[in-house]
Structure 1
Protein backbone atom coordinates (compact mmCIF):
# COMPACT_ATOMS: atom_id res chain seq x y z
CA UNK A 1 0.00 0.00 0.00
CA UNK A 2 3.03 2.24 0.34
CA UNK A 3 3.06 2.65 -3.45
CA UNK A 4 -0.13 4.70 -3.07
CA UNK A 5 0.38 6.46 0.24
CA UNK A 6 3.42 8.25 1.56
CA UNK A 7 4.64 6.54 4.73
CA UNK A 8 5.45 9.89 6.35
CA UNK A 9 1.82 11.00 5.90
CA UNK A 10 0.54 7.90 7.64
CA UNK A 11 2.86 8.50 10.59
CA UNK A 12 1.38 11.99 11.07
CA UNK A 13 -2.15 10.67 11.55
CA UNK A 14 -3.75 10.77 14.99
CA UNK A 15 -4.72 7.50 16.68
CA UNK A 16 -8.33 7.84 15.52
CA UNK A 17 -7.24 8.62 11.96
CA UNK A 18 -4.86 5.65 11.94
CA UNK A 19 -7.77 3.47 13.04
CA UNK A 20 -9.76 4.70 10.05
CA UNK A 21 -6.83 4.08 7.71
CA UNK A 22 -6.26 0.57 9.10
CA UNK A 23 -9.93 -0.31 8.76
CA UNK A 24 -10.07 0.87 5.15
CA UNK A 25 -6.93 -1.02 4.07
CA UNK A 26 -7.94 -4.21 5.90
CA UNK A 27 -11.44 -4.37 4.42
CA UNK A 28 -10.74 -3.92 0.72
CA UNK A 29 -13.45 -6.25 -0.59
CA UNK A 30 -16.33 -4.56 1.25
CA UNK A 31 -15.09 -0.99 1.67
CA UNK A 32 -16.27 0.28 -1.73
CA UNK A 33 -19.92 -0.35 -0.82
CA UNK A 34 -19.79 1.27 2.63
CA UNK A 35 -20.95 4.81 3.24
CA UNK A 36 -18.85 7.26 5.18
CA UNK A 37 -21.19 7.05 8.20
CA UNK A 38 -20.71 3.29 8.30
CA UNK A 39 -16.92 3.69 8.28
CA UNK A 40 -17.19 6.14 11.17
CA UNK A 41 -19.46 3.79 13.11
CA UNK A 42 -17.22 0.76 12.55
CA UNK A 43 -14.12 2.66 13.68
CA UNK A 44 -15.80 4.42 16.62
CA UNK A 45 -14.95 7.79 15.11
CA UNK A 46 -16.94 10.42 13.21
CA UNK A 47 -17.63 11.28 9.58
CA UNK A 48 -15.44 14.36 10.01
CA UNK A 49 -12.55 12.15 11.16
CA UNK A 50 -12.92 9.93 8.10
CA UNK A 51 -12.84 12.92 5.74
CA UNK A 52 -9.94 14.47 7.62
CA UNK A 53 -8.00 11.20 7.34
CA UNK A 54 -8.44 11.17 3.57
CA UNK A 55 -7.31 14.79 3.21
CA UNK A 56 -4.28 14.30 5.44
CA UNK A 57 -3.24 11.44 3.16
CA UNK A 58 -3.31 13.75 0.16
CA UNK A 59 -6.75 13.03 -1.30
CA UNK A 60 -9.60 15.41 -2.06
CA UNK A 61 -11.95 13.39 0.08
CA UNK A 62 -13.15 10.00 1.22
CA UNK A 63 -14.34 8.79 -2.20
CA UNK A 64 -10.99 9.42 -3.88
CA UNK A 65 -9.15 7.61 -1.09
CA UNK A 66 -11.40 4.55 -1.42
CA UNK A 67 -11.16 4.54 -5.20
CA UNK A 68 -7.36 4.60 -5.18
CA UNK A 69 -7.02 1.91 -2.53
CA UNK A 70 -9.63 -0.43 -4.04
CA UNK A 71 -8.19 -0.23 -7.56
CA UNK A 72 -4.59 -0.56 -6.42
CA UNK A 73 -5.41 -3.51 -4.19
CA UNK A 74 -7.23 -5.18 -7.03
CA UNK A 75 -4.09 -5.00 -9.15
CA UNK A 76 -1.82 -6.15 -6.33
CA UNK A 77 -4.09 -9.13 -5.69
CA UNK A 78 -3.67 -10.26 -9.30
CA UNK A 79 -0.73 -12.58 -8.66
CA UNK A 80 -0.16 -13.27 -12.34
CA UNK A 81 0.03 -9.58 -13.19
CA UNK A 82 1.89 -8.35 -10.15
CA UNK A 83 4.25 -11.25 -9.51
CA UNK A 84 4.87 -12.82 -12.89
CA UNK A 85 5.20 -9.74 -15.10
CA UNK A 86 7.24 -6.58 -14.74
CA UNK A 87 4.70 -3.75 -14.54
CA UNK A 88 6.05 -0.21 -14.33
CA UNK A 89 2.93 1.34 -12.84
CA UNK A 90 -0.84 1.21 -12.65
CA UNK A 91 -1.15 3.51 -15.67
CA UNK A 92 0.41 0.80 -17.84
CA UNK A 93 -2.47 -1.56 -17.03
CA UNK A 94 -5.05 1.20 -17.42
CA UNK A 95 -3.68 1.97 -20.87
CA UNK A 96 -4.01 -1.69 -21.83
CA UNK A 97 -7.57 -1.82 -20.51
CA UNK A 98 -8.44 1.31 -22.50
CA UNK A 99 -7.08 -0.30 -25.68
CA UNK A 100 -9.19 -3.39 -25.08
CA UNK A 101 -12.26 -1.32 -24.38
CA UNK A 102 -12.15 1.21 -27.21
CA UNK A 103 -9.30 0.37 -29.57
CA UNK A 104 -9.09 -1.41 -32.90
CA UNK A 105 -6.58 -4.16 -32.26
CA UNK A 106 -4.48 -6.43 -34.40
CA UNK A 107 -3.06 -9.64 -32.91
CA UNK A 108 0.02 -11.42 -34.15
CA UNK A 109 2.26 -14.28 -33.13
CA UNK A 110 4.31 -17.07 -34.64
CA UNK A 111 5.01 -20.66 -33.62
CA UNK A 112 3.84 -21.77 -30.18
CA UNK A 113 2.61 -18.28 -29.33
CA UNK A 114 0.01 -18.53 -32.10
CA UNK A 115 -2.19 -20.64 -29.85
CA UNK A 116 -2.05 -17.95 -27.16
CA UNK A 117 -2.99 -15.19 -29.59
CA UNK A 118 -5.87 -17.29 -30.94
CA UNK A 119 -7.21 -17.66 -27.39
CA UNK A 120 -6.96 -13.90 -26.80
CA UNK A 121 -8.63 -13.25 -30.15
CA UNK A 122 -11.61 -15.49 -29.34
CA UNK A 123 -11.90 -13.92 -25.89
CA UNK A 124 -11.99 -10.38 -27.30
CA UNK A 125 -14.50 -11.39 -29.96
CA UNK A 126 -16.82 -12.81 -27.31
CA UNK A 127 -16.59 -9.49 -25.49
CA UNK A 128 -17.64 -7.71 -28.70
CA UNK A 129 -14.30 -5.96 -29.22
CA UNK A 130 -12.85 -4.68 -32.48
CA UNK A 131 -10.05 -7.17 -33.08
CA UNK A 132 -8.43 -8.88 -36.04
CA UNK A 133 -6.16 -11.91 -36.16
CA UNK A 134 -3.42 -12.01 -38.76
CA UNK A 135 -1.42 -15.01 -39.83
CA UNK A 136 1.99 -14.94 -41.50
CA UNK A 137 0.84 -15.03 -45.16
CA UNK A 138 -1.60 -12.16 -44.65
CA UNK A 139 1.01 -10.11 -42.84
CA UNK A 140 3.55 -10.66 -45.61
CA UNK A 141 0.99 -9.44 -48.13
CA UNK A 142 0.37 -6.34 -46.04
CA UNK A 143 4.08 -5.61 -45.68
CA UNK A 144 4.81 -6.14 -49.37
CA UNK A 145 1.87 -4.05 -50.54
CA UNK A 146 1.98 -0.62 -48.96
CA UNK A 147 -1.22 0.31 -50.76
CA UNK A 148 -3.17 -1.93 -48.38
CA UNK A 149 -5.08 0.35 -46.00
CA UNK A 150 -4.56 -0.45 -42.33
CA UNK A 151 -5.81 1.51 -39.36
CA UNK A 152 -5.15 -0.02 -35.97
CA UNK A 153 -4.88 1.66 -32.60
CA UNK A 154 -2.57 -1.10 -31.45
CA UNK A 155 -0.94 -4.34 -32.41
CA UNK A 156 -0.48 -6.94 -29.68
CA UNK A 157 2.43 -9.29 -30.30
CA UNK A 158 3.18 -12.35 -28.20
CA UNK A 159 6.76 -13.47 -28.67
CA UNK A 160 8.64 -15.19 -25.87
CA UNK A 161 12.10 -14.64 -27.34
CA UNK A 162 11.33 -11.72 -29.66
CA UNK A 163 13.31 -13.26 -32.49
CA UNK A 164 10.73 -13.30 -35.27
CA UNK A 165 11.78 -11.17 -38.23
CA UNK A 166 8.20 -10.90 -39.44
CA UNK A 167 7.04 -9.74 -36.00
CA UNK A 168 9.65 -7.00 -36.02
CA UNK A 169 8.74 -5.87 -39.53
CA UNK A 170 5.04 -5.75 -38.66
CA UNK A 171 5.74 -3.82 -35.46
CA UNK A 172 7.92 -1.25 -37.20
CA UNK A 173 5.53 -0.90 -40.14
CA UNK A 174 2.41 -0.35 -38.03
CA UNK A 175 4.27 1.86 -35.59
CA UNK A 176 5.19 4.05 -38.53
CA UNK A 177 1.48 4.37 -39.28
CA UNK A 178 0.72 5.49 -35.74
CA UNK A 179 -0.24 2.19 -34.11
CA UNK A 180 0.90 1.41 -30.58
CA UNK A 181 3.02 -1.73 -30.30
CA UNK A 182 2.15 -3.93 -27.30
CA UNK A 183 4.55 -6.76 -26.58
CA UNK A 184 4.40 -9.80 -24.31
CA UNK A 185 7.86 -11.32 -24.04
CA UNK A 186 10.49 -12.66 -21.66
CA UNK A 187 13.49 -11.33 -23.56
CA UNK A 188 14.36 -7.66 -23.17
CA UNK A 189 17.49 -8.04 -25.29
CA UNK A 190 15.66 -8.18 -28.61
CA UNK A 191 15.02 -5.61 -31.32
CA UNK A 192 11.31 -6.29 -30.97
CA UNK A 193 11.53 -5.28 -27.30
CA UNK A 194 13.27 -2.03 -28.27
CA UNK A 195 10.59 -1.15 -30.83
CA UNK A 196 7.60 -1.78 -28.52
CA UNK A 197 5.65 1.03 -26.81
CA UNK A 198 3.90 -0.99 -24.13
CA UNK A 199 5.82 -3.97 -22.76
CA UNK A 200 4.74 -6.73 -20.40
CA UNK A 201 7.90 -8.65 -19.63
CA UNK A 202 7.48 -12.09 -18.14
CA UNK A 203 9.91 -12.67 -15.28
CA UNK A 204 11.71 -15.58 -16.88
CA UNK A 205 14.95 -13.63 -17.25
CA UNK A 206 15.59 -15.17 -20.64
CA UNK A 207 18.53 -13.83 -22.63
CA UNK A 208 17.15 -15.25 -25.85
CA UNK A 209 19.43 -18.30 -25.84
CA UNK A 210 16.74 -20.79 -24.82
CA UNK A 211 14.91 -22.70 -27.51
CA UNK A 212 11.12 -23.03 -27.37
CA UNK A 213 11.24 -26.81 -26.93
CA UNK A 214 12.63 -26.33 -23.42
CA UNK A 215 10.03 -26.21 -20.61
CA UNK A 216 8.61 -22.73 -20.04
CA UNK A 217 5.66 -21.25 -18.17
CA UNK A 218 5.56 -18.12 -20.34
CA UNK A 219 2.65 -19.20 -22.53
CA UNK A 220 0.43 -20.40 -19.72
CA UNK A 221 0.97 -17.30 -17.63
CA UNK A 222 0.37 -15.01 -20.59
CA UNK A 223 -3.14 -16.49 -20.89
CA UNK A 224 -3.65 -16.06 -17.13
CA UNK A 225 -2.46 -12.46 -17.45
CA UNK A 226 -5.22 -11.74 -19.94
CA UNK A 227 -7.81 -13.43 -17.72
CA UNK A 228 -6.80 -11.15 -14.86
CA UNK A 229 -6.81 -8.19 -17.23
CA UNK A 230 -10.35 -9.02 -18.38
CA UNK A 231 -11.35 -9.23 -14.72
CA UNK A 232 -10.01 -5.72 -14.09
CA UNK A 233 -11.69 -4.48 -17.26
CA UNK A 234 -15.14 -5.76 -16.29
CA UNK A 235 -14.78 -4.59 -12.68
CA UNK A 236 -14.05 -1.05 -13.85
CA UNK A 237 -16.71 -1.14 -16.55
CA UNK A 238 -19.55 -2.32 -14.33
CA UNK A 239 -18.46 -0.11 -11.45
CA UNK A 240 -18.75 2.89 -13.79
CA UNK A 241 -22.12 1.70 -15.14
CA UNK A 242 -23.43 1.23 -11.61
CA UNK A 243 -22.38 4.73 -10.57
CA UNK A 244 -23.86 6.20 -13.76
CA UNK A 245 -27.17 4.41 -13.12
CA UNK A 246 -27.25 5.68 -9.53
CA UNK A 247 -26.59 9.24 -10.75
CA UNK A 248 -29.42 9.03 -13.29
CA UNK A 249 -31.79 7.69 -10.66
CA UNK A 250 -30.89 10.49 -8.25
CA UNK A 251 -31.51 13.12 -10.95
CA UNK A 252 -34.91 11.63 -11.77
CA UNK A 253 -36.11 11.93 -8.17
Structure 2
Protein backbone atom coordinates (compact mmCIF):
# COMPACT_ATOMS: atom_id res chain seq x y z
CA UNK A 1 0.00 0.00 0.00
CA UNK A 2 1.68 3.24 -1.13
CA UNK A 3 0.14 5.78 1.27
CA UNK A 4 2.27 8.66 0.00
CA UNK A 5 0.98 8.11 -3.51
CA UNK A 6 -2.64 7.86 -2.31
CA UNK A 7 -2.21 11.09 -0.33
CA UNK A 8 -0.66 12.88 -3.29
CA UNK A 9 -3.46 11.89 -5.65
CA UNK A 10 -6.30 12.72 -3.26
CA UNK A 11 -5.06 15.75 -1.29
CA UNK A 12 -5.44 14.01 2.07
CA UNK A 13 -5.17 15.71 5.43
CA UNK A 14 -2.90 14.63 8.27
CA UNK A 15 -5.91 13.03 9.96
CA UNK A 16 -6.66 11.06 6.80
CA UNK A 17 -3.05 9.87 6.69
CA UNK A 18 -3.23 8.76 10.32
CA UNK A 19 -6.30 6.65 9.56
CA UNK A 20 -4.64 5.03 6.53
CA UNK A 21 -1.46 4.36 8.50
CA UNK A 22 -3.44 2.63 11.25
CA UNK A 23 -5.09 0.38 8.66
CA UNK A 24 -1.78 -0.23 6.84
CA UNK A 25 0.06 -1.18 10.05
CA UNK A 26 -2.52 -3.85 10.85
CA UNK A 27 -2.50 -5.25 7.33
CA UNK A 28 1.29 -5.44 7.40
CA UNK A 29 0.95 -7.68 10.48
CA UNK A 30 -1.46 -9.94 8.56
CA UNK A 31 -4.77 -8.61 9.93
CA UNK A 32 -7.43 -7.81 7.35
CA UNK A 33 -10.71 -7.93 9.31
CA UNK A 34 -10.30 -4.62 11.12
CA UNK A 35 -13.28 -3.10 12.97
CA UNK A 36 -13.99 0.53 12.08
CA UNK A 37 -14.25 1.43 15.77
CA UNK A 38 -10.73 0.10 16.34
CA UNK A 39 -9.34 2.35 13.60
CA UNK A 40 -11.33 5.35 14.80
CA UNK A 41 -10.12 4.89 18.37
CA UNK A 42 -6.47 4.42 17.35
CA UNK A 43 -6.67 7.52 15.13
CA UNK A 44 -8.48 9.62 17.77
CA UNK A 45 -11.37 10.37 15.41
CA UNK A 46 -15.01 9.37 15.09
CA UNK A 47 -16.22 6.52 12.89
CA UNK A 48 -17.83 9.22 10.75
CA UNK A 49 -14.37 10.59 9.93
CA UNK A 50 -13.25 7.12 8.78
CA UNK A 51 -16.32 6.78 6.56
CA UNK A 52 -15.76 10.30 5.22
CA UNK A 53 -12.22 9.29 4.18
CA UNK A 54 -13.55 6.19 2.40
CA UNK A 55 -15.97 8.34 0.40
CA UNK A 56 -13.22 10.87 -0.37
CA UNK A 57 -11.23 8.02 -1.93
CA UNK A 58 -14.22 7.00 -4.05
CA UNK A 59 -15.65 4.11 -2.02
CA UNK A 60 -19.20 3.60 -0.78
CA UNK A 61 -18.06 3.07 2.78
CA UNK A 62 -15.44 1.67 5.13
CA UNK A 63 -16.00 -1.99 4.20
CA UNK A 64 -15.40 -1.28 0.51
CA UNK A 65 -12.26 0.73 1.36
CA UNK A 66 -10.97 -2.09 3.54
CA UNK A 67 -11.59 -4.66 0.81
CA UNK A 68 -9.78 -2.56 -1.81
CA UNK A 69 -6.78 -2.07 0.49
CA UNK A 70 -6.73 -5.79 1.27
CA UNK A 71 -6.59 -6.64 -2.45
CA UNK A 72 -3.81 -4.12 -2.94
CA UNK A 73 -1.91 -5.51 0.04
CA UNK A 74 -2.11 -9.17 -1.01
CA UNK A 75 -1.51 -8.72 -4.73
CA UNK A 76 1.36 -6.28 -4.26
CA UNK A 77 3.15 -7.71 -1.26
CA UNK A 78 4.61 -4.91 0.82
CA UNK A 79 7.78 -6.92 1.34
CA UNK A 80 10.18 -4.17 0.37
CA UNK A 81 9.54 -2.35 3.63
CA UNK A 82 11.36 -5.06 5.57
CA UNK A 83 14.77 -3.82 6.68
CA UNK A 84 15.62 -7.37 7.77
CA UNK A 85 15.23 -8.62 4.21
CA UNK A 86 17.09 -5.68 2.72
CA UNK A 87 20.02 -6.48 4.99
CA UNK A 88 20.52 -9.99 3.58
CA UNK A 89 19.96 -9.52 -0.16
CA UNK A 90 22.67 -8.37 -2.55
CA UNK A 91 20.64 -6.79 -5.35
CA UNK A 92 17.46 -4.70 -5.22
CA UNK A 93 15.68 -6.67 -7.94
CA UNK A 94 15.62 -9.71 -5.64
CA UNK A 95 12.79 -7.97 -3.76
CA UNK A 96 10.55 -8.16 -6.83
CA UNK A 97 11.45 -11.81 -7.30
CA UNK A 98 10.57 -12.55 -3.67
CA UNK A 99 7.20 -10.84 -4.16
CA UNK A 100 6.52 -12.92 -7.27
CA UNK A 101 7.55 -16.12 -5.47
CA UNK A 102 5.06 -15.45 -2.66
CA UNK A 103 2.28 -14.67 -5.13
CA UNK A 104 2.98 -17.86 -7.07
CA UNK A 105 2.85 -19.96 -3.91
CA UNK A 106 -0.37 -18.27 -2.79
CA UNK A 107 -2.03 -18.62 -6.20
CA UNK A 108 -2.63 -22.36 -5.85
CA UNK A 109 -1.84 -22.80 -9.54
CA UNK A 110 1.01 -25.25 -9.06
CA UNK A 111 0.34 -28.93 -8.31
CA UNK A 112 3.90 -29.60 -7.15
CA UNK A 113 6.55 -27.44 -5.52
CA UNK A 114 10.09 -28.72 -6.10
CA UNK A 115 12.84 -27.34 -3.83
CA UNK A 116 16.19 -28.72 -4.94
CA UNK A 117 19.65 -28.29 -3.42
CA UNK A 118 22.82 -30.37 -3.17
CA UNK A 119 25.31 -30.58 -0.30
CA UNK A 120 24.84 -27.88 2.35
CA UNK A 121 22.22 -26.20 0.15
CA UNK A 122 20.08 -29.30 0.61
CA UNK A 123 19.58 -28.28 4.27
CA UNK A 124 17.80 -25.16 3.02
CA UNK A 125 15.81 -27.11 0.45
CA UNK A 126 14.65 -29.64 3.05
CA UNK A 127 13.71 -26.90 5.49
CA UNK A 128 11.46 -25.14 2.96
CA UNK A 129 10.01 -28.46 1.76
CA UNK A 130 9.01 -29.46 5.31
CA UNK A 131 7.46 -26.06 5.99
CA UNK A 132 5.43 -26.22 2.77
CA UNK A 133 4.27 -29.74 3.61
CA UNK A 134 2.93 -28.38 6.90
CA UNK A 135 0.86 -25.93 4.84
CA UNK A 136 -0.53 -28.87 2.79
CA UNK A 137 1.48 -28.16 -0.35
CA UNK A 138 2.69 -31.10 -2.42
CA UNK A 139 6.36 -30.27 -1.91
CA UNK A 140 9.36 -32.43 -2.72
CA UNK A 141 13.16 -32.28 -2.89
CA UNK A 142 13.15 -34.50 -5.95
CA UNK A 143 13.73 -33.26 -9.48
CA UNK A 144 10.69 -33.05 -11.80
CA UNK A 145 12.72 -35.33 -14.08
CA UNK A 146 12.25 -38.14 -11.50
CA UNK A 147 8.48 -38.14 -11.99
CA UNK A 148 6.71 -40.08 -14.72
CA UNK A 149 3.78 -37.69 -15.01
CA UNK A 150 4.22 -34.02 -15.85
CA UNK A 151 2.21 -31.62 -13.69
CA UNK A 152 2.16 -27.86 -13.47
CA UNK A 153 5.09 -27.27 -11.14
CA UNK A 154 7.12 -24.53 -9.52
CA UNK A 155 10.83 -25.16 -8.93
CA UNK A 156 13.28 -23.43 -6.61
CA UNK A 157 16.94 -24.32 -7.14
CA UNK A 158 19.22 -23.59 -4.16
CA UNK A 159 22.95 -23.25 -4.77
CA UNK A 160 25.30 -20.95 -2.87
CA UNK A 161 27.85 -20.89 -5.69
CA UNK A 162 25.32 -21.09 -8.51
CA UNK A 163 27.71 -23.44 -10.26
CA UNK A 164 26.44 -26.83 -9.03
CA UNK A 165 26.73 -28.98 -12.14
CA UNK A 166 23.90 -31.38 -11.35
CA UNK A 167 21.46 -28.53 -10.61
CA UNK A 168 22.34 -26.75 -13.84
CA UNK A 169 21.80 -30.02 -15.71
CA UNK A 170 18.28 -30.32 -14.22
CA UNK A 171 17.53 -26.61 -14.74
CA UNK A 172 18.41 -26.71 -18.43
CA UNK A 173 16.06 -29.63 -19.04
CA UNK A 174 13.24 -28.24 -16.89
CA UNK A 175 13.39 -24.93 -18.75
CA UNK A 176 12.52 -26.76 -21.96
CA UNK A 177 9.48 -28.25 -20.19
CA UNK A 178 8.05 -24.80 -19.33
CA UNK A 179 8.16 -25.14 -15.53
CA UNK A 180 8.10 -21.94 -13.44
CA UNK A 181 11.68 -21.71 -12.18
CA UNK A 182 13.29 -19.71 -9.36
CA UNK A 183 16.86 -19.78 -8.04
CA UNK A 184 18.41 -18.90 -4.68
CA UNK A 185 22.15 -18.23 -4.66
CA UNK A 186 24.83 -15.92 -3.25
CA UNK A 187 26.63 -15.31 -6.55
CA UNK A 188 25.07 -12.78 -8.94
CA UNK A 189 27.14 -13.69 -11.98
CA UNK A 190 26.90 -17.45 -11.54
CA UNK A 191 25.73 -19.77 -14.31
CA UNK A 192 22.51 -20.55 -12.44
CA UNK A 193 21.60 -16.88 -11.97
CA UNK A 194 22.37 -16.17 -15.62
CA UNK A 195 20.10 -19.05 -16.68
CA UNK A 196 17.24 -18.28 -14.28
CA UNK A 197 15.70 -14.83 -14.65
CA UNK A 198 13.83 -15.17 -11.33
CA UNK A 199 16.87 -15.37 -9.07
CA UNK A 200 17.24 -14.23 -5.46
CA UNK A 201 20.77 -13.37 -4.37
CA UNK A 202 21.55 -13.71 -0.65
CA UNK A 203 24.64 -12.44 1.20
CA UNK A 204 26.92 -15.11 2.60
CA UNK A 205 29.24 -12.85 4.61
CA UNK A 206 32.39 -14.50 3.31
CA UNK A 207 35.44 -12.40 2.44
CA UNK A 208 38.29 -14.51 1.12
CA UNK A 209 37.23 -17.37 3.40
CA UNK A 210 38.10 -15.36 6.53
CA UNK A 211 34.55 -14.74 7.72
CA UNK A 212 31.70 -17.05 8.77
CA UNK A 213 29.39 -18.25 6.04
CA UNK A 214 25.88 -16.92 6.64
CA UNK A 215 24.25 -18.26 3.47
CA UNK A 216 22.30 -21.00 5.24
CA UNK A 217 21.24 -18.73 8.12
CA UNK A 218 20.23 -15.89 5.83
CA UNK A 219 18.31 -18.28 3.59
CA UNK A 220 16.39 -19.68 6.58
CA UNK A 221 15.57 -16.12 7.68
CA UNK A 222 14.26 -15.37 4.20
CA UNK A 223 12.17 -18.55 4.18
CA UNK A 224 10.61 -17.71 7.55
CA UNK A 225 9.69 -14.22 6.36
CA UNK A 226 8.17 -15.57 3.14
CA UNK A 227 6.18 -18.17 5.06
CA UNK A 228 4.89 -15.61 7.55
CA UNK A 229 3.36 -13.58 4.72
CA UNK A 230 2.10 -16.69 2.95
CA UNK A 231 0.46 -18.09 6.09
CA UNK A 232 -1.28 -14.79 6.80
CA UNK A 233 -2.66 -14.71 3.29
CA UNK A 234 -3.84 -18.35 3.39
CA UNK A 235 -5.46 -17.84 6.79
CA UNK A 236 -7.35 -14.82 5.55
CA UNK A 237 -8.54 -16.70 2.46
CA UNK A 238 -9.77 -19.55 4.68
CA UNK A 239 -11.60 -17.15 7.01
CA UNK A 240 -13.35 -15.55 4.04
Equivalent pairs, count = 228
Q: State whether structure 2 residue 72 is matched by structure 1 residue 75.
A: no
TM-score (norm 2): 0.74
Residue 163 (structure 1) shift:
0.8
Name the structure 2 match of 1:9. 8
Paired residues of 1:80 and 1:228 also in contact (CA < 8 A):
no
Counterpart for residue 202 of structure 1: 202
Asked if 1:216 corresponds to 2:218, the answer is no
1:165 maps to what in 2? 165
Pairwise CA distance, 1:184 = 0.5
Matched, 1:97 2:105: yes
Deviations 1:81-108 (A, max 9, x none): 4442331267414334237784312222
Does the aligned pair in 1 maintain the 2:30–2:229 contact within 8 Å? Answer: no
Q: What are the residue-to-residue correspondences of 1:54-65 with 2, within 5 Å?
A: 54-55=57-58, 61-65=65-69
Structure 1: 5+ residue stretches without partners: 244-253
Which residue number corresponds to residue 119 of structure 2?
A: 111
For structure 2, the residue ranges without an aligned partner over 5 or more in a row are none
For residue 133 of structure 2, what is the aligned residue in structure 1?
Answer: 125
CA RMSD of aligned residues (A): 3.8
- What secondary structure is seen at the aligned counterpart in 1 of 2:181? strand
Cα 1:5/1:68, change in 2 over 3 Å: farther
Instruction: State the alpha-carbon separation in 2 of the partners of residues 128 and 31 from structure 1.
Output: 22
Larger Rg: 1
**Quick one: which of 85, 88, 103 aligns to 1:84?**
88
State the match for 1:176 in structure 2.
176
Q: Is the 2:161–2:187 contact (alpha carbons within 8 Å) kept by the matching residues of 1?
A: yes
Listed as ranges, the matches of 1:231-250 within 5 Å are 231-243=228-240
Residues 1:80 and 1:174: Cα distance change in structure 2 (over 3 Å): farther
The answer to whether the 8 A contact 1:156-1:183 is kept is yes
Question: Deviation string for 1:30-80 (max 9, x for gaps)?
Answer: 973433355345542424323135449xxx734323554588786356554
After TM superposition, the score normalised by the length of structure 1 is 0.70
Distance in 1 between the 2:77 and 2:140 partners? Answer: 32
Gap change, CA 1:170 and 1:89, over 3 Å in 2 = closer
Partner of 1:177: helix, strand, or coil? coil
C-alpha distance after superposition, 1:178-223 (max 9, x if no partner): 11111011111022112214222114598xx967x96211111112
For residues 53 and 22 of structure 1, the distance between their equivalents in structure 2, rounded to whole angstroms, comes to 16
